[in-house]
Amino acid sequence: MDDPVIDRCKTGIPVLDDRILRGGIPRGTMVLVTGSSGVGKTTLSCQFLFNGATMFNENGLLFTLTESVSQMKRFMNQFSFYDEEAVEKKKVQFFDMRAIYKQMGMDKDQYTVSDMNSLLRIIDEIVTNYNIKRLVIDSITAMIFRMPDKEKIRDFLYRLGNIIFEHNAVALLTAEEASGTRFYTEQGIEFICDGIIFLTEREVGNTLLRSLQVVKLRGTAHNRSEHEMVITQSGIALTERTF
C-alpha cells in the first residue's frame, strides 16, 4: 500500500514500487545502487530515468563516467523502456563526465578541494537549469576516485545529498560492491546515502538467478526481502518470488 504522508518518486517498476518501496523512493534522497559487475545497475538506473519521463513527466539526467554516451545509448536503446522522443525533448539527458572534466580543467590525477567545489557547483547548476527530478551518477565510485581522502569524499557526498534534498529530487548513485567485507562499497558511501539497493546473483538449483534487495531506505518502512529479478528486452522486472 502507498504511504500517503511522504512525497515519493515512483520507479515505474511493478513490485518494486508497490511491494517493496510502499509507493516509491521518498523525494529528496540519495540511493546507492550497488552490486558486482553486470548485475544491472546501469539498466535499473536508465529505466528509472525513462520511466520518469514517459510515465511521470519528470526530467532525468545521467552522468556517465565509465561508458561513453554513445555506447550507453546504443546499449539502452535495445530495451523497450528507451524512448528516443524523451531524449530528443531533453526529458532524459546523458552527460559524459569526462568531457565536463576536460572543460573544467579537471582531467588530472588528483582533485583539489577547489576542484570538488567546482564539481558540486556544476552539478547544482545542471540540476537547477534543467529542472532535474531524477539524477543518476554512473558510477559514484569513478566520480570520487580522484578525491584526496575519505573525509573529503564524505564531505563531498554530504554536500551532494544537500543539493538533491534542496531540489526535492532523487539521485541514484551506482557503485561497485566491496567484495569480501561487511560493507557495500569500499569507501563506505552507504553510510551517507539515504538508501541502498543491492543487486546480486544467486545459485538456485543449477541456475543463476538475479535478485534485488532494498537494504535500507531512510524515512520509510520497506520490504527487506531479496526479490527475484529478471532482465529481458523490457528491462528490469521483479517477480513475487523471494529468497
Ligand X SMILES: Nc1ncnc2c1ncn2[C@@H]1O[C@H](COP(=O)(O)OP(=O)(O)OP(=O)(O)O)[C@@H](O)[C@H]1O
* Site for ligand X, rule CB under 6 A: 35, 37-43, 78, 231-233
The DSSP annotation for 211-224 comes to EEEEEEETTS----
Q: Rank residues 115 and 177 by Cβ distance to ligand X and give the closer one.
A: 177
> Please, what is the minimum distance in Å from the beta carbon of residue 124 to ligand X?
26
What the block records as the C-alpha cell of 122 is 556544476
43 binds, among Mg ion, ligand X, none (CB under 5 to 8 A by kind): ligand X
> Least CB distance from residue 75 to ligand X, whole Å?
7
The two most distant CA atoms of the chain are separated, in Å, by 53
CB 136, min distance to Mg ion, A: 10
* CB of residue 43 to ligand X, shortest distance in Å: 3
* Residue 78 vs 114, nearer CB to ligand X: 78
**Identity of the residue, 14 or 38, whose beta carbon is nearer to ligand X in the bound complex:** 38
CB of 204 to Mg ion, least distance (A): 24
Specify the DSSP class assigned to residue 13: -
Instruction: Return the one option of ligand X, Mg ion, none that residue 148 interacts with (CB less than 5 to 8 A, by type).
Output: none
Residue 232 binding: pick among Mg ion, ligand X, none (C-beta 5-8 Å cut-off by kind): ligand X
**Count of residues in contact with Mg ion, rule CB under 5 A:** 2
How far is Cα 208 from Cα 204, in angstroms, rounded to an integer? 6
Site for Mg ion in 42-101 (CB under 5 A): 42
DSSP 71-96: HHHHHHTTSTT--HHHHHTTSEEEEE
| 165-130-75-187 Cα dihedral, nearest 10 degrees | -30
Distance of CA 82 to the CA centre of its chain: 17
Residue 207 binding: pick among ligand X, Mg ion, none (C-beta 5-8 Å cut-off by kind): none
| Buried b / exposed e along 3-36 (16+ C-beta atoms within 10 A) | eeeeebbbbbbebbbebbbbbbbbbbbbbbbbbe
Q: Choosing among Mg ion, ligand X, none, which partner's interface includes residue 8 (Cβ < 5 to 8 Å by kind)?
A: none
